[in-house]
Structure 1
Amino acid sequence: MGKNSIFLALIAGALVLFQAKAQEFTPEKMWSLNRISGTTGSSNEEWMIYQSTKTDYTVNKGKTSTFLVELKTGKTSVLDLNGAWNFIWNAENQLVFLQSEGSEIRLKSLNPSNKEVKILHHFGTTQVEGITLSPDGKRFATLEPLKIKQTVKDIYPDLPQTSGRIETDLMYRHWNQWSTAEVPHLYWYESSTDGGFTKKADVMENENFPSVTGPFGGIESVCFSKDGQTIFYSTKKMSGKTFAQSTNSEIYAYRTSDKITTVLSSAHKGYDTNPAINFTGKTLAWLSMEKDGFEADKNRIRIMDLESRQEKDLTASMDISVNEFAWHPSKEVIYFTATTKATKQLYSIDVKSGKIQQLTSDRCDYVSFSVMKDRILLERQDMIHPTDIWIFTPKTGLNEQLTQANKEELKGIAEPTVQEKWITTTDGKKMLTWVIYPPNYDPAKKYPALLYCQGGPQSPVSQFFSYRWNFRLMASQGYIIIAPNRRGLPGFGQEWNDAISKDWGGQAMRDYLTATDSCVAQISSINKDKLGAVGASYGGYSVYYLAGIHENRFKAFISHCGLFNLESWYGTTEELFFANWDIGGPYWLPENKELYAKNSPHKLVDKWNTPMLVIHGGKDFRVPESEGMQAFQVLQLKGIPSKFLYFPDEGHWVTKPQNSILWNREFFDWLNTYLK
């Protein structure tokens, strides 16, 4: 072969390699995807609005675009609404929303037919968190900050530069934020004769509690009665140690005419959240848990006849837990989603008859929905495909895809495949385990495999498309993923869900090892000498625990924000109700000593011998950074190959684009070093 032929062959080979590389699903490609959110349809079924965020990781931020769709024709318009959020369709099928403009926030409306925008109210620089409308649109309620206590600088005005904090009670930090002197309070406004709105009152006047329960509760916990005269809201009117140790939120009814507040849910001791009124105005529904302190209790839909105050649990006959629900705009029907067999499906309840019907059964997660007159808009995703919008007709069962938000971004990229396996556990139960195979999988080849350990501990390994733990991304790097729905995960009945509490290091660990051993035995393409285990939160705890009991099954571990020493964790975590329920309570109580000794991974470090990457965030107050630091220190002192990846500006989740890219690069570099 001549020199030119050799040169051309090399060039051709390089091009093939380059094209193959370009068609991989990489962390950078994942961050380039369009992320759909906020899908909502007008009740007359003529219009749909949604937002899509496109991230440029090179500048470490994303841009959100707002799309208006005429459902009859499919005509789509991009709206010039930078900084807009909290979209609501009012009774006249006009779009109402909040918009930030510089340092100020305004309430606006948009006519979908001619795109005319009107300003309804100026909030000025008040940091409004959200709004909800009365059914007739003449009133609205907002969440706004209210100062309830002095700051250090108020106490010592001659020390304006001090950064010190003075705490005298618990819950001084939550999730990823330190408490401030302000809490969100609920205010209501009424339309005025000049066409604007006037602020009327603080719904919780003289009460120094937040009007919604953080860290994730918001305006969805608030609604008006049909006549707009009553505001229903959910919160936990507690503070300090009591707040930290209880989940007993309540549903309150505030009468605007005389400012009298009534508790509606006092019979129930767990979370009561998300009140919603039906179209007649006679029935209130909400989500309800029975057990105080148990955040993963069965989530029920309760209804109350507002005249008789009679209650009913609509989901009493079903062994499932509800994710979210919504009333039909003109029928006595409630729609809801729930996790079942590691997927999230849509259901309906005929309120009069009590009949419950599962409406979908696809291998996917329906993560959000919006009910219109005859059809329902669904946000749908699965392990391989990011969120798109579908439209479902309950009467016929027809389910049609409306968007292909990432058609171009994913064009030409080979997809992994997902298999559902049912594995027999050590106690004779059946456990659903997802197995995700690499793109272009060849069963004749050998592949390294990863055991994925889920967090929660009561969070399902459903068909989620996560931008933190992405199965498509892992499989696309050449790994077979073993993802068991081990003990403690919802979707398989409350008994399975509850079994994890106070037994963190027990049956769940045996489930992990059973899933691993079964897949190795049944899938000949798994290289049993190239196994790794990865996970976050309780999954990170699982990695620490497995490191002491795996008997050399695994050759590499990665623990993200894992619990290492349960005693030190109990002394630094914030939501003590969770620790009290799931671990058993304070470590200093004599009756708990055996539980801590049995379940804490730090008791097993004498058996650690496997390379481990430890990852933690400095703003993680659920599992504070010292847990990761302790584990890394043990690894270093024992001479075990190890690395500590630390993000001072991240919490329990890594959410900033470049931090996530770094996370993924280090994640796969570690696995490739020890498993390839």
Structure 2
Amino acid sequence: MRKYTVLAVALMLALTSFAQRAPEKKIDKSLITNRMQNFGKEVMGPERLWELGRVSAEGLTPDGRQLIYGVSKYSFDENKSEKNLFVVPVKGGDFFQFTAGDGGESVLQVKDNGEVIYSYKNQLWLKNIKGGEAKQLTNGEGGLENVKFSPNGKHILFSKAVLVNMNHSVDKYADLSKSNVYIYDDLDYRHWDSFNDGRFNHPFVATYDQGKIGEAIDLLAGEPFYSPQAPFGGIEDFAWSPDGNSVLYVCKKKSGKEYAKSTDTDIYRYDLISRRTTNLTEGMDGYDTHPLYKADGRVLAWLSMKTDGYEADKNDIILWDAIADIKLNLTAHWDGTVNTFTWSKDNRKIYFIAPIRGTSQLFEIKIPSNLKNKAQPKIEQISEGQFDITGIVRETEEGLVVTSTTMTRATEVYLYNLKSKKLNPITKVNDEVYAQIAPTKVEGRFTKASDGQDLFSWVIYPPDFDPTKKYPTLLYCQGGPQAATTQSYSFRWNFQLMASQGYIVIAPNRRGMPGWGVKWNEDISKDWGGQSIRDYLSAIDDLAKESYIDRDRIGAVGASYGGYSVFMLAGVHEGRFRSFISHCGLFDMTSWYGTTEELFFANHDLGGPYWNKENEKTYTEFNPINHVAKWDTPILIFQGGKDYRVPIGQGLEAFQAARLKDIKSRLVYLPEENHWVLSGHNAQVWHREFFGWLKETL
């Protein structure tokens, strides 16, 4: 450290001397200060990125004084992550490690006496927060997933897979155990990254007594439905009533073709005494999810989308008074969409998170005392800043315990003080690493879009950015397409990492992104190749006017819809770009419609199938394959072998077209990856190919 100090002083003297000897040149003193502060620091690299601890908020003690959190650490030698639990005071102080098992632990319940029940290798374990030996409570075959205990502790709700249909030959033909054949009569034959083997996750409820689980009741009684939802539903799809006499579960009770075409999930209540099941959201046609009772058990809240088949519809908070049988849409009048919510400690308000102007922030809404009151409840934004609030753990006496990120900081847990409106860190897992990393500057920028609308972008600059120099620049194209580009932190599409390699990155909030009003969000549907693509061109054209942009070294990168955008831009960019990178992008909309699995998405966003004439524009003008004749720019294509959302043919078709046109191109095929890249070693290959390609072409 002392060596760096001496060198830093020498550098400062040299820069000061230069400034004095060259008065005719304007020297930016802030630039000198910035370089002094960054001297001796390293830039973020792909391996360093994967060495960061991945933090999860697991729960609070009942008194709200202590936080239990998880930290996952990746091992390059073993190519796997190891998660352990830690405890730290919410008001700040020293932390201690709570578990150290070889595997991932997740907290299920923290009792008043300090006993913590957690899941480890799909079994239940108990340990006191003050220390001592851990005790294994269950050892059942197959284990337990998505566990929730009843409020009175007498019952347990959990999920497990149940064989319903004989889709796999080894199940259908017991004498052919060495066969590997799948047989289907309808759709939903594959989803996300796996083929349907006839097994469905079902909710079960059973009596519970100190680790002893009684006979479990299958709440779906062997039906071919999923609960939690497939593929990403989890414990948030389950809830107990405060009296412990009933359970709620989210389910889309459709199968085959109808399952693939619909988003109509409902919230079902199972009464433990009468053993009757009731659909609480019957007649509500879109997604109904995240049920959460008010403490008194009279009012239930949940998230609801209105339109069947529209997965990115406005997400509202619905209240239902069970006694008066009254439903109220709390956020119907609000021009935004809700990510997640929780009840306040006094049950008089609901706190929720929503995207807003390039970030995700906290909001609150007061609950009307009478749900018959037609007055529109006031919604107030209660946090603001260049950060995302990504989750709400719970309200305490001091404020809200939340998780938060920025584009240059991975998830940590914070206490948001409701009076001072400040985020105070509770966990500091990655502080030591970031202290050694040269920071990258992030700024917001507004551009006039081609239709005159204000278009916001995040611009990320390299460490030691010098406006007198010229930099290669990347246009980042977001996926979704209705996914927000906010202050989130990615371990693959990491803007800090890209900027640290010497690139300026611009990430526009183009048409289709939430946070700028419902209409802005909806405008991309059936217009994939229209205004959103023009928004990208407007954003990069505006930034390219800056003197520090090297106009001969501009590239475009993106995944999913972002990959589609890259394929589209390759045919319409008119010489703006010198390099393209597309990951799991949609290349031929006709073949994509015929092979993707969630048809509700294609039907809503594309308008429907290619054989209907009213959708002709989607499959012609907005189809990247129809613009290949104008392709003339180097392109790198990533494709996952187990990606059934954007199946393998899309990447292979695009690569083959590029090669047959003698365009410099490269295919990086990841046979074991889905729409994402989850393996650490594969991710390192991904990063090396990504940045290697940019060095070759920019």
TM-score range, shorter-chain basis?
A: over 0.9
Of 67, 77, 85, 2:105 maps to: 85
Which residue matches 2:152? 136
What's the TM-score once normalised by structure 1's chain length? 0.93
3-state SS of paired residue (1:165)? coil
- Structure 2: any 5+ residue segments left out of the alignment? 1-6, 12-37, 370-376
Match 2:498 to one of 474, 497, 504: 474
1:674 aligns with 2:697: yes
Offset from partner CA, 1:559-595 (integer Å, 9 cap, x none): 0000000000000000000000001111012222233
SS at the partner of 1:243? helix
Look up the SS of the partner of 2:544 in the other structure: helix
**1:464 lines up with 2:488 in the alignment:** yes
1:413, CA displacement in angstroms?
A: 1.9
User: Are 1:25 and 2:44 an aligned pair?
Assistant: yes
Secondary structure of residue in 2 paired with 1:622: coil
Pair 1:238 & 2:257 matched: no
The 2-side partners of 1:471 and 1:72 are apart by 32
Partner of 1:665: 688
Matched, 1:553 2:589: no
Post-superposition offset of 1:388: 1.5
Alignment of 1:458-607 (within 5 A): 458-521=482-545, 523-607=546-630
Q: Which moved more, 1:154-163 or 1:412-421?
A: 154-163
Give 1:258's aligned residue.
274
Q: Which whole-Å CA distance do the structure 1 matches of 2:525 and 2:186 have between them?
A: 27
Question: How far apart in 2 are the matches of 1:474 and 1:72?
Answer: 35
What aligned pairs does 1:616-655 form with structure 2 within 5 A after superposition?
616-655=639-678
Q: Structure 1 CA distance, aligned partners of 2:378 and 2:215?
A: 43
TM-fit CA distance, 1:267: 2.8
Partner residue, 2:19: none
| Contact preservation (8 Å) 2:41, 2:436 | no
2:119 counterpart (93, 99, 114): 99
Q: Provide the identity percentage.
A: 42
- What is residue 21 of structure 2 aligned with on the other side? none
Matches within 5 A, 1:260-275: 260-275=276-291
Q: Is the 8 A contact 2:267 2:280 kept in 1?
A: yes
Q: In the TM superposition, what are the counterparts of 1:32-111 in structure 2 within 5 Å?
A: 32-71=51-90, 74-82=93-101, 83-90=103-110, 92=112, 94=114, 96-100=116-120, 105-111=122-128
Quickly say closer, same or farther: Cα 1:409–1:316, change in 2 above 3 A: same
SS for the counterpart of 1:606 is: helix
Distance (Å, rounded) in 2 between the aligned partners of 1:108 and 1:356: 41
Distance in 2 between residues matched to 1:133 and 1:106, nearest whole Å: 14
CA contact 2:86–2:99 (8 Å) conserved in 1: no
Q: Determine which of 455, 474, 479 is the counterpart of 1:455.
A: 479
What are the superposed Cα offsets for residues 371-416 of structure 1, whole Å, 9 maximum, x if unpaired?
1332221111111111111112324434311222112222332111
- Structure 2 counterpart SS, 1:652: coil
Quote how far apart the aligned CAs of 1:88 are. Answer: 3.1
- Residue 659 of structure 1 and its aligned partner are, at CA, apart by 0.6
Shift of 1:93: 6.3
Matched, 1:615 2:638: yes
Q: Assess, with a 3 A threshold, how the Cα gap between structure 1 residues 219 and 416 changes in structure 2: closer, same or farther.
A: same
Q: Partner of 1:423 in structure 2?
A: 447
User: Does the CA-based 8 Å contact 1:253-1:263 persist in structure 2?
Assistant: yes
Residues 284-323 of structure 1 mapped to structure 2, 5 A cutoff: 284-323=300-339
Match of 2:22 in 1: none
- Structure 2 counterpart of 1:4: none
Unpaired runs of 5+ residues, structure 1, are 1-8, 14-18
Matched, 1:387 2:411: yes
C-alpha distance in 2 between matches for 1:172 and 1:195: 37
Residues 395/110 of structure 1: CA separation in 2 closer, same or farther (3 Å cut): farther
Does the Cα contact within 8 Å between 2:162 and 2:222 map onto a contact in 1?
no
Indicate if the aligned counterparts of 1:43 and 1:93 stay in contact, CA closer than 8 A: no
> Does structure 2 retain, via aligned residues, the 8 Å contact 1:91–1:135?
no
Provide the C-alpha distance between the structure 2 equivalents of 1:340 and 1:613, rounded to a whole number of angstroms: 33
8 Å CA contact retained: 2:58, 2:68: yes
Check whether the contact 1:94–1:109 (CA below 8 A) recurs between aligned residues: no
Distance 1:595 1:524, change over 3 A: same
Secondary structure of 2:687's counterpart equals: helix
Is the 2:637–2:667 Cα contact (8 Å) retained in structure 1? yes
Aligned twin of 2:367:
351
| Amino acid of the structure 2 residue aligned with 1:457 | P
Q: Say which SS state the counterpart of residue 684 (structure 2) adopts.
A: helix
Read off the aligned partner of 1:319 and give its amino acid letter: D
In 1, the alpha carbon distance for the partners of 2:115 and 2:554 equals 52
Against the structure 1 CA distance between its residues 330 and 204, is the aligned structure 2 distance closer, same or farther, given a 3 Å change threshold?
Answer: farther
State the aligned residue count.
654
Counterpart for residue 373 of structure 2: none
Amino acid in the other structure paired with 1:233: Y
- Cα gap change, 1:533/1:169 in structure 2, threshold over 3 Å: closer, same or farther? same
Mark the CA change 1:328 to 1:499 in structure 2 (over 3 Å): closer, same or farther. same
Partner residue of 1:377? 401
- SS in structure 1 of the partner of residue 48 of structure 2: helix
SS of the aligned residue for 2:277 comes to: strand
- Runs of at least 4 residues off by over 6 Å: 19-22
- 3-state SS, counterpart of residue 126 of structure 2: strand
What is the Cα-based RMSD across aligned positions, in Å?
A: 2.0
Q: CA 1:649/1:21 → structure 2, altered by over 3 Å: closer, same or farther?
A: farther
Is contact 1:187–1:199 with CA below 8 Å preserved after alignment? no
TM-score, normalising length from structure 2? 0.90
1:167 paired with 2:184, answer yes
Give the Cα–Cα distance (whole angstroms) in 2 for the partners of residues 257 and 79 of structure 1.
38
Alpha-carbon distance in structure 1 between the residues aligned to 2:107 and 2:58: 9
Query: 1:634 Cα shift?
Result: 0.4
Residue equivalent to 2:197:
180
Q: What does residue 14 of structure 2 align with?
A: none
Structure 1 residue 484, shift from structure 2 partner: 0.5
- Structure 2 residue aligned with 1:6: none
* CA distance, structure 1, for counterparts of residue 106 and residue 152 of structure 2: 18
Q: Provide closer, same or farther for how the CA distance between residues 142 and 618 of structure 1 changes in structure 2, counting only shifts above 3 A.
A: same
Determine the structure 2 residue equivalent to 1:5: none
Q: CA 1:403 to 1:72, structure 2 compared with 1: closer, same or farther past 3 Å?
A: closer
- Is contact 2:84–2:105 with CA below 8 Å preserved after alignment? no
Seen in structure 2, the aligned counterparts of structure 1 residues 117 and 67 have a Cα distance that, compared at 3 Å, is same
Which has the larger displacement, 249-258 or 204-213?
A: 204-213
Amino acid at match of 2:442: V
Contact 2:245-2:272 within 8 A present in 1 as well? yes
